[in-house]
Amino acid sequence: MTGSTSLYVGEMEAFEIDRDNIIPESVLSRLSSSGLFGPYTGAESAVKILESVRALARRSVGLASVVLINMSVQFLVYHVLGYKETPLLQRILDHGISAVSLTEKGGGTDLARNITVAAEESGGEYCLRGEKVFTSNGLYADYFLVLALDKGEPGLFVSDDRKSMEIEALDLSSFRGAGIARVVYNCARAVKITESKAMKTVLQAINLGRLGYTAIGIGIAEGSLEDALEYTRERKVFERPLIDYQGIQWMLADTYSRLETVKALYRQALQGLPSINPVQAAVLKNEAARLAQEAAWVNIQVHGGRGLEHHSRPERLYRDARALDIGEGAREILKSFIASSLARNPGLATM
Ligand SMILES: Cc1cc2nc3c(=O)[nH]c(=O)nc-3n(C[C@H](O)[C@H](O)[C@H](O)COP(=O)(O)OP(=O)(O)OC[C@H]3O[C@@H](n4cnc5c(N)ncnc54)[C@H](O)[C@@H]3O)c2cc1C
């Protein structure tokens, strides 16, 4: 699972996914046949899938995101909610693709105060009405995990009623192909999966998402370093390969050193699954984002003008790295969370 990305995605496929902002059905089927969408059977599945997310992100962050988001719903169903045997939840764990629909136009940071999507009960089922933005996997999903108000209180719902939704792709410069969409729910049939404390449930599940974004950040850095090494070993300037010059060597050495440091902490976090230390997840996500952004910058730099070609691997990874500071909790919010945890527990600094 951790080996070559060519197992999952070729360079031409990754290029086309980025250019067209969509993943072809044939590629999704291939991922499905590789077991990346299920069955989910516990923490071992989470580790295996996160390692695949890391490998996929070396070339196509869009693909990596689709796999990650689906698994984050499975993780929530299995570990956070405490799995209950209902046909719908079993289907989510077994196969198909799930989307996460939390953020609304009012903003994602202050999620709880921005919910306007409403759930009305009728005959044991619910009908969802309203609009969400930034729903990753929205273009491909069989199941939508939706945060909505039920009699004024936040609740988590699952809907498989696609025909009652308007789904429109967002044209973002990052994470292209990840199926990120605006979704309008026009009385979409849904079931409620939380009895109470929906916001707490979401926040618990978001830690897995942060570990997943760490995997993507590491993957972007690995892909950038792989690409930079290949290019600088071949490209000759003043009759010597670029990699012979100290200025280039130091950039590559810095990237590798930071990559190894972040990876070591990440591997430690994987060993703890399904438990996740929220402070560690926040630290890892911010550090992996910085690592990815620096590594992608170096890769473009060593490629010179060629690195700026639209949809080329260096340029794609550079754009993708940027979103890591926004999705799954923006950098500033995570820093505030880390600082408030330190203030509550100063012993963290010397553990
Ligand atoms: C690639 C990608 C994938 C996503 N996937 C999903 C998904 O699957 N499902 C979903 O529901 N949402 C998704 N989102 C939305 C994401 O959760 C939000 O973008 C994120 O929570 C930030 O919300 P916002 O964009 O509305 O920014 P805002 O909440 O408007 O914040 C704007 C900026 O202000 C900063 N800020 C806010 N408050 C403070 C403060 N108190 N102090 C300092 N700075 C502050 C933030 O850090 C941010 O940089 C995705 C976003 C991206 C980019």
Q: Give the angle subtended at the CA of 11 by the CAs of 168 and 174, to the nearest 5°.
A: 35
Asked whether 321 lines ligand 1 (CB < 6 A), one says no
Residue with the two structure tokens 């945890």: 341
Atom 50 (ligand 1) nearest CA: 327
Q: How far is the CA of 252 from the centre of ligand 1 (A)?
A: 31
- Which of ligand 1's atoms lies nearest the C-alpha of 333? 47
Give residue 204's pLDDT: 85
Output phi, psi for 243, to 5 deg: -70, -15
Domains of the chain: 5-94 (no CATH), 98-195 (2.40.110.10), 200-350 (1.20.140.10)
Adjacent-strand bridge partners of 146? 101, 157
Residue with the two structure tokens 């991922």: 31
Give residue 6's pLDDT: 45
Atom 48 (ligand 1) nearest CA: 330
Q: How far is the CA of 87 from the centre of ligand 1 (A)?
A: 33
Asked whether 213 lines ligand 1 (CB < 6 A), one says no
Q: Average pLDDT over the chain, rounded to whole? A: 95
- Compute the distance between CA of residue 158 and CA of residue 100 in angstroms, rounded to an integer: 10
Give residue 274's pLDDT: 95
Adjacent-strand bridge partners of 29? none
Residue 84 clears pLDDT 60, i.e. is over it = yes
Give the 3-state DSSP-derived string for the chain, with helices as H, strands as E and coil as C: CCCCHHHCCCHHHHHHHHHHCCCCHHHHHHHHHCCCCCCCCCHHHHHHHHHHHHHHHCCCHHHHHHHHHHHHHHHHHHHHCCCCCCHHHHHHHHCCCEEEECCECCECCCHHHHCCCEEEEECCEEEEEEEEEEEECCCCCCEEEEEEEECCEEEEEEECCHHHEEEEECCCCCCCCCCCEEEEEEEEEEEECCCCCHHHHHHHHHHHHHHHHHHHHHHHHHHHHHHHHHHHHHCEECCEEHHHCHHHHHHHHHHHHHHHHHHHHHHHHHHHCCCCCHHHHHHHHHHHHHHHHHHHHHHHHHHHHHHHCCCCHHHHHHHHHHHCCCCCCCHHHHHHHHHHHHHHCHHHHHC
Mean pLDDT across 291-312: 97
In terms of DSSP bridges, do strands 181-192 and 153-159 run parallel, antiparallel, or are they unpaired?
antiparallel
Contacts of 195 (CB under 8 A, 6+ apart): none
The structure's pTM equals 0.96
What amino acid occupies position 47? Answer: V
Q: How far is the CA of 174 from the centre of ligand 1 (A)?
A: 14
- Compute the distance between CA of residue 9 and CA of residue 174 in angstroms, rounded to an integer: 18
pLDDT digits (tens, 9 = 90+) for 227-264: 999 999 999 999 999 999 999 999 999 999 999 999 99
Peptide bond into 274 cis (omega under 30): yes
Question: How far are the Cα atoms of 117, 121, 232, 309 from residue 186, in angstroms, in the given order?
Answer: 10, 14, 54, 41
Give residue 40's pLDDT: 96
Residue with the two structure tokens 């902490």: 265
Mean pLDDT across 10-20: 96
Share of the chain above pLDDT 70, in %: 97
Give residue 7's pLDDT: 54
Atom 3 (ligand 1) nearest CA: 327
pLDDT digits (tens, 9 = 90+) for 121-169: 988 899 999 999 999 999 999 999 999 999 999 999 999 999 999 999 9
Residue 85 clears pLDDT 80, i.e. is over it = no
Give residue 3's pLDDT: 43
Give residue 195's pLDDT: 80
Residue 1 clears pLDDT 90, i.e. is over it = no
Residue 303 clears pLDDT 60, i.e. is over it = yes
Atom 16 (ligand 1) nearest CA: 327
- Compute the distance between CA of residue 97 and CA of residue 88 in angstroms, rounded to an integer: 13
Residue 8 clears pLDDT 80, i.e. is over it = no
Residue 4 clears pLDDT 50, i.e. is over it = no
Asked whether 119 lines ligand 1 (CB < 6 A), one says no
Mutational pocket test of ligand 1: of 103, 171, 213, the residue with most ligand atoms within 8 Å of the beta carbon: 103
Mutational pocket test of ligand 1: of 65, 98, 109, the residue with most ligand atoms within 8 Å of the beta carbon: 109
CA atoms within 13 A on the CB side of 297: 10
Radius of gyration of the chain (CA): 21
Mean pLDDT across 100-110: 94
Question: How far are the Cα atoms of 39, 178, 209, 212 from residue 70, in angstroms, in the given order?
Answer: 11, 11, 10, 11
Residue 5 clears pLDDT 80, i.e. is over it = no
